[in-house]
Amino acid sequence: MKKSPAPRLRAVAALALLAPLLAACGDPLGGGGTGTGPRVVASFYPLEYVAERVAGEHVEVEQLTAPGVESHDLELNVEKTAAIAGADLTFYLRGYQPAVDEAVEQNASGSVVDAAEVVSLHAAEEEPGHEGESAEEHAAHEGEAGDPHFWLDPVLLGEAATAFTEQMAEVDPDHAADYRANLADLRADLEQLDADYREGLTGCELDTVVVSHDAFGYLEKYGLTFEAVAGLSPDVEPSPAHLAELEDLIRETGVTTVFSETLASPAMARTLASDLDLETGVLDPVEGLPADSGQEDYLSLMRANLRALQQANGCR
Ligand SMILES: [Zn+2]
């Protein structure tokens, strides 16, 4: 099973060779498409959605996380690293995808918009699996960045969109008026979505929601409480003590449904649901588009989530 390291080495060598070219002519890989327009890179789907809505008529937005890929642990190949190196504007979220953080730090030569600098992220809640650690031990491995999943609050996504638009207007002043007009349209849609959530989640029989990974904290502003089987990242395994606590909570609150999600493995959530004889539902953290997304976009996925929550929690 020993695999040759050659492709990776070759990739690194190729990047080294490209470096002067990148500096000299900007677009040796042709990854940006249009040739003359600015090159924009967005690191995962909700940021790509914003970039497309604001700038898509004038630039080709390159996305680093392909549909169907779990975005937390994205790895970058040489093309994607080169895309960051050659981008006029990179839109990303520091603390969410470590490979992107590193590539931006080491390779980005154009403008950068870090959504984590624009939006005030919620403090990360205690992740399951860390019971019994001292505060010091916990602080040592807890990201200082906070809960990254801010795009689930449409208002916060609007704030990130505004910062992106201002930077876009600097990078490409000729089209600044278009970018600002597109931003106004986008913000109107996001405000409508926020209003629909507010109204749609009023008067629910239940306010507790059990989900597979701790991605939904930003929806708590609508009056719900989210309890996660796993941590902020879907690959953090829950401890037996945490699972027992969740079971108690489910019995006490009368929760009917355990939600898993489209891209991360639902095994743990399924086991819990079948142990307790509950329904399973799907709630999408909108970290990426599903591979077969068809016409789905940020707004339609968020609305599907709203309907699923209303149904599970008996909202009228
Ligand atoms: Zn997540």
Long-range contacts at 241-245 (CB < 8 A, ≥ 24 apart): 241/131, 242/128, 242/129, 242/131, 243/272
What is the 173 CA–ligand 1 centroid distance (Å)?
35
What six digits make up the tokens of 224? 């719900």
Determine how many CB atoms are found less than 10 A away from the CB of residue 34.
12
Q: Are 148 and 125 in contact (CB under 8 A)?
A: no
Of the ranges 183-187, 217-221, 231-235, which one carries the lowest mean pLDDT score? 231-235
User: Could you give the domains of the chain?
Assistant: 21-121+145-194 (3.40.50.1980), 205-313 (3.40.50.1980)
Question: Residue 242 has which token pair?
Answer: 């945490």
Do residues 235 and 215 make contact, with C-beta atoms less than 8 angstroms apart?
Answer: no
What span, in angstroms and rounded, lies between the C-alpha atoms of 295 and 287?
16
Write the pLDDT tens digit of every residue in 50-64. 999 999 999 999 999
Q: State the distance from the centre of ligand 1 to the C-alpha of 235, rounded, in angstroms.
A: 9
- Cα(231) to centroid(ligand 1), Å: 8
Instruction: Give yes or no for residue 231 having a pLDDT over 90.
Output: no
Whole-angstrom Cα distance, residue 170 to residue 236? 40
- How many Å lie between the centroid of ligand 1 and the Cα of residue 81? 22
Distance 75 CA to ligand 1 centre (A): 16
Name the least confident of 58-62, 135-139, 290-294.
135-139
- Which protein residues have a CB closer than 5 Å to ligand 1 (ion)? 215
User: Can you tell me the mean pLDDT for 81-105?
Assistant: 96
Asked whether the predicted pLDDT for residue 22 surpasses 60, the reply is no
Give SS3 for 64: coil
- pLDDT at position 222 is 97
Distance 58 CA to ligand 1 centre (A): 31
pLDDT digits (tens, 9 = 90+) for 74-84: 999 999 999 99
Report helix, strand or coil for 91.
Answer: strand
> Ligand 1: distance of its center to the CA of 174 in Å?
37
Ligand 1 centre and the CA of 294: distance in Å? 22
Residue spans of alpha helices (H) in the chain? 6-25, 45-55, 78-86, 98-107, 115-118, 135-141, 154-171, 176-200, 240-253, 267-275, 298-313
